[in-house]
């Protein structure tokens, strides 16, 4: 996992308000950076610190993680995750990434600003 933690536009407000502090991603992602940019639609909206990463089979996600992610149940989570990962199955390993927003930009920055290095 690189320097970006990207979100769909429908989740951005919850991330930037600090309400959403967990995200589920397919596979075993190993963050290379503790401090990451919060990204959406080609723009950077702030910075977050990754506080914890857990690896678990999708079917074994607890209700606490599902609720934190904004899902009512596992079926809703699977349906939403299939929009991003059409072949995801309940037996697949996912990364549960916990993060804390540490800086919200007053004005979003185009993602190309960090790709100049």
Would the pLDDT of 116 be above 70?
Answer: no
Residue 96 has φ and ψ, to the nearest 5°, of: -100, 110
Q: Could you tell me how many helices (H) and strands (E) the chain has, helices first?
A: 3, 5
CA 114 to chain CA centroid, Å, is 19
CATH number for the domain whose boundaries are 4-104: 3.10.400.10
Distances (CA, A) of 98 to 50, 65, 91, 95, 117: 6, 10, 21, 9, 27
Mean pLDDT of the chain: 94
Residues in the chain: 117
**pLDDT at 117 (0 to 100):** 47
* Average pLDDT, integer, range 3-16: 95
pTM of this structure: 0.91
Contact indicator for 2, 32 with CB cutoff of 8 Å:
yes
* DSSP letters for 35-46: EEEEEETTEEEE
Domain residue spans of the chain: 4-104
**What percentage of the chain carries pLDDT values higher than 70?**
97
pLDDT digits (tens, 9 = 90+) for 69-107: 989 999 999 999 999 999 999 999 999 999 999 999 999
């Amino acid at each position: 996992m690189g320097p970006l933690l990207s979100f769909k536009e429908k989740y951005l407000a919850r991330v930037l308000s600090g309400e959403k502090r967990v995200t589920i991603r397919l596979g075993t992602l190993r963050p290379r950076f503790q401090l990451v940019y919060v990204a959406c639609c080609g723009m950077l909206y702030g910075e977050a610190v990754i506080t914890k990463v857990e690896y678990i089979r999708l079917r074994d996600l607890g209700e606490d993680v599902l609720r934190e992610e904004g899902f009512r149940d596992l079926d809703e989570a699977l349906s939403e995750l299939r929009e991003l990962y059409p072949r995801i199955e309940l037996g697949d390993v996912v990364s549960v990434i916990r993060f804390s927003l540490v800086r919200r930009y007053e004005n979003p920055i185009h993602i190309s600003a960090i790709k100049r290095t």
